[in-house]
Amino acid sequence: MSACYIGASSLGAAVPGSRSMPTSSQDLIDRLRSRGARLGVIGLGYVGLPLAVEFANAGFSTVGFDLDEQKVRRIMSGDPCGLGVAPAEVEAATASGRLVATTDFGRLKELDSVNICVPTPLRKTKAPDLSHVVSAVEQIAKHLNPGQLVILESTTYPGTVDEVVRPMLEATGLQGGDDFFLAFSPERVDPGNTEWTTGNIPKVVGGIDATSTAVAQVLYEQVVGTVVPVSSTQAAEMVKLLENTFRAVNIGLANEFALICHRLDVDVWEVIEAASTKPFGFMPFYPGPGLGGHCIPIDPFYLSWRARQAGFESRFIDLAGDINAGMPRFVVELIVAALNVRGKPLRRARIHLFGISYKPGVSDVRESPAIDIGQLLQQGGAVVSYSDPHVPTVSKGDLVLEEVPCERALKQGFDCGVITTAHSEFDYEAIANGAECLIDTRNALKGFQGDHIQRL
């Protein structure tokens, strides 16, 4: 159907040469339940690719859209690109024809439903950057058909669907809730987590009206065990921000405890372990070298930015952000102090980082505190290297490195090693016994003793 087709009262009309589109919400619901609907996912990253594969596995004809031609080719060859999906699943989905990856956004006109799963980073000013969302919605608007369902999954501030997405789609002449259905459902993907995946994590969904919520709920019920409807898109948008702000604030508290314990010469890891024995009223969070990934370091700033627009200063959230953002510099201070004890300056010191991705078991380096630490060390004149079985190369600013396998790094030697990501592939006994100076920011060396080991 032509992207410029307009008519709020023509929901059931057809355009010559087009494929049949849903004529009502019930028609779309019936197509979803019968697996006759054609689904689309824009953005084939850690969120979009697993979702597209789930749709395909459930029997839906699914089209995945991405701007990266190389990624599209790899996915079509059965390669999951390290995005948290088993290669066999991607290969089966593409080989069956149920999943097609493409850079051709013209195929949006063929679809009954489209999920937007694109990045939502921050600008340098810590303000939201919705450019990827806007670009995706522009493509959808070009090909929007009556009866289509559009769902935004990208994390954003409350009001994005109502204030940004809906007006762009309604500029076509079609009306949300009458001619097309629109909802928000926050992504809850945890990269590297094999226990909780797209298929078994409960899905929150809120539409611009009751009908949109109902249609979106039926879509997710075909692939997710539990769907939780809420009253509005703003409530659904706020859910994600609460989840990740909760984590960011509590990690900030754990990091501040670590700073206090360092001053008081108390083992913060022992304190947390002992406190965790309380069977009620306590949930353990752990300190670290800083926050990383596509959610926790970013989402609280989306909330605080939105709060400021409403005339409210989120002091508690901002303070936690400041504490977390300062941890890489504190780790560097620990490194400098450890070198000074051994009579070595930071300049020209060989510092080796064990782990460069933001969390164990993944190749994602977005917002990784290990990279921040590496850049700070390099600025101080240190010679930086790293081991990470998941990340062969790193290039961010002036920090351009190739991975040195752990065994070779230990053989070559270094002045100070820093455990920044607790990958299970590391031989921690070899690290503990083979290095003359170690800073452990993850408590990965628990049980190993020696004056050469210092924990965060």
Q: Using CA atoms, how far apart are residues 454 and 456, in angstroms rounded to an integer?
A: 7
> What residue type is 185 in one-letter code?
S
Question: Vertex 247, ends 245 and 253: CA angle to 5°?
Answer: 100
Beta-carbon-side half-sphere exposure of residue 292 (alpha carbons within 13 Å): 27
- 3-state helix, strand, coil split of the chain in percent (to 5) is 40, 15, 45
For the record, the structure tokens of 191 come out as: 């990269």
CA 361 remoteness from chain centre = 14
Beta-carbon-side half-sphere exposure of residue 349 (alpha carbons within 13 Å): 25
> Of 81, 295, 406, 416, which is the active-site residue?
295
**b/e per residue, 228-249, with b = 16+ CB within 10 A?**
ebbebbbebbbbbbebbbebbb
Residue with tokens 């290990």: 370
Beta bridge partners of 102: 65
Residue with tokens 């040469």: 17
Helix (H, G, I), strand (E, B) or coil at 16: coil
- Lay out the sheet containing 181-184: strands in order across: 99-102, 61-65, 38-42, 113-116, 149-152, 181-184, 203-207, 227-229
Q: What is the 3-state secondary structure of 204-231?
A: EEEECCHHHHHHHHHHHHCCCCCEEECC
The question of whether 261 is a catalytic residue gets the answer: no
Catalytic positions are 295
